[in-house]
A and B are shown apart, each in its own frame.
Chain A
Amino acid sequence: MQQTTSFDENKKIYSKNKLVFAPWYFLLPAIFFFLIYVIIPIFQSVWISFYEWDGLGEAEWVGFANYIELLDDEYFYTSLKNNFIWLILYLLAVPIGLFIALFLNQVVFGIRFYKSLFFFPFVISQVVVGLIFSWFYNPNFGLLASIFLSFGLEPIAILSDEDLVTYGIIFAGLWPQIAYCMILYLTGLSNVSKDLMEAARLDGAKGLKMLWHVVLPQLRPATFISVVVTVIGALRSFDMVAIMTEGGPYGSSNVLAYYMYETALSEYGFRLGYGSAIATVLFFIMLVYIGYFLWRLYKNEREL
């Protein structure tokens, strides 16, 4: 009798331990890769930001000197300001995406085809979008120039105008981003509760009132994701700037992501420590949003 119990107990302990170790077997490969290529490099970058280093010679410890230098760097401020403009204007993608989704949320012949064509810009590489728009803005033969000429106006060279260039790039960047938000909202709209709509309709709600009080609250998850991906996209903007202007003219369209690359790896010098300091600043700015996202995720997990 006793033997059976202990046998059972052994088995229990074994199967309990099995469940303790099993997750790690499954996790190990992913953790290994993620640690090597993502987690450790973050710390290394922060570490490098305390050095003056050209990537070849000996690195020299300089403490906070790189950060102090940033405080006096006008290019850094321009980039920071531009990132802020990006952030604000890029968020226009959310309402515009919603608007297009509402326009397309109908059942007519071929609507699925229309929806996927509207989504097109998101699938295309930003390099290609950037090229398309550089050409669109070209003052000699661009589409914009011919629109200006047809109204009898002098074409503006947007990408060589220090005051307009950032807006020009953001406008181009909005094109794929709107498509992204649109698709998130289209999926959200297909899940809007019919009963609630019907009830509201009986109460006399329609049009904008219906949208604001009944539909939008149900679209909150789509809005949340749209805002998150748009903010992250705005702060990550690199490709468009690299393709369209390389930060120019005179650094006026620079953003932190590109300025960091420029200081660390381009012909303007190999200041890896200084570049890392810029990257660290960008990282901490983004950490605010990441933290907020994780907090929302955590609340969500607790509810389950």
Chain B
Amino acid sequence: MFPKPIHAFPNKYQLIYKIALPFVLIIWLLPLIAIFLTSVRSAADINTGNVFGWPSQFLLIENYSEVFRRSKAILYLKNSFLITIPTVLLSVSLACLAGYALAIYRFRWSLPLFFIFVAGNFIPFQILMIPVRDMSVSTGLYNTISGQVLFHAAFQTGFCTFFMRNFIKALPFELIESGRIEGVSEAKIFLYIVVPLVRPALAALAVLIFTFVWNDFFWATVLTQGESVKPITAGVRSLNGQYVNNWHLVSAASLCAAIPPVVMFFLMQKHFIAGLTLGSVKQ
């Protein structure tokens, strides 16, 4: 283990370390703590310049319910869920199939296709912007939930396939081999042997894609117009324009936008980190 375990040091240093930890954490999260405190302040506090002191009143429920009353935050949040969940399901299933094919079969196109999926994941969004927007307009998918779902699912398929292929490749090939010798069809091998084994990978991918898509802002700007199908990220931005001097409301809305991925992360932390670091460990 590196650095040297703290237990090996004299008590004095252990104590310093344990005191330093929360201290450093508070500095690290200071912007977040500040925005939380702002979100429970009264408007009077902000107007009189009490922005960093202790709030004169805690208006947690009042401020947050005011955000929901005065803005379309609920609609935005609902849209975010309607965009994110189907995207996760679609891209993970497509990638599960494709990753299986690229990991198990030896054929000439296997590596080139794999590289195309990987490369696609890294390209700048702007190179896709005009054609994708154009196509969405001409097919009636512009300014709809499904238009956003289809794009995100297609784009995330690149990363997901990369991920699934590497995961399946690491499984013992004998399992598939023995299925083939028994005369089990390829589809059944996939369904009954591979899918149960990749469950941890599916969970990891699902949380990652949920976070990526939930936090998307660019495509929400490019593929929507007006309020009806906007996700919360774009919604928070337009609230920021409307409530110029209502920082307590803007910060409350921002925190609402941040909560679902944060909850997701805490619930599935192990999977999330495993997903993020897959590939980095094996490379």
Contacts and interface: CB of A to CB of B under 8 A. Distances in A.
Given A114-B21, A191-B281, A141 B1 contact: no
Contacts of B280: 184, 187-188, 221-222, 224-226
Contacts of B240: 131, 243
Interface stretch (A65-73, A132-140, A152-160, A161-169): A132-140
Q: Which of A26, A29, A189, A282 has its CB near the most chain B CB atoms (within 10 A)?
A: A26
Contact of B25 (A25, A117, A239, A278): A117
B173 to A, nearest CB: 12
Chain B facing A: main interface SS:
helix
A19 B105 contact: yes
Nearest to A22: B186
A132 B254 contact: yes
Contacts of A272: 130
Nearest to B105: A23
B242 to A, nearest CB: 13
Contact of A146 (B51, B105, B262): B51
A235 interface: yes
Interface residues of B, number: 101
A148 interface: no
Given A143-B52, A222-B280, A294-B118, A29 B129 contact: no
Interface string B238-263: 00100000010011001101100110
Contacts of B68: none
B17 interface: yes
A87 interface: no
A261 B257 CA distance: 24
A94 interface: no
Contacts of A123: 211, 258, 261-262, 265
A93 interface: no
B217 A242 contact: yes
Given A238-B125, A260-B129, A120 B29 contact: yes
B46 to A, nearest CB: 7
Nearest to A272: B130
A50 B30 CA distance: 48
A127 B233 contact: yes
Contacts of B21: 108, 111, 114
Contacts of A1: none
Nearest to B49: A141
Interface residues of A, number: 105
Nearest to A42: B127
A239 B218 contact: yes
A30 B277 CA distance: 24
A82 interface: no
B236 interface: yes
Contacts of B77: none
A3 interface: no
Interface stretch (B57-65, B92-100, B196-204): B92-100
Interface of A: 18-20, 22-27, 29-31, 33-34, 36-42, 44-45, 48, 55, 102-103, 105-108, 111, 114, 116-121, 123-128, 131-133, 135-136, 141, 143, 146, 175, 180, 183-184, 187-189, 191-192, 194, 197, 206, 210-211, 214-215, 221-222, 224-226, 232, 235-236, 238-239, 242-243, 256-257, 260-261, 264-265, 272, 275-276, 278-280, 282-283, 286, 289-290, 293-294, 296-298, 300-301
12 contacts: A33-B154, A44-B131, A48-B131, A128-B258, A135-B38, A141-B46, A180-B276, A187-B273, A264-B129, A275-B126, A289-B122, A296-B283
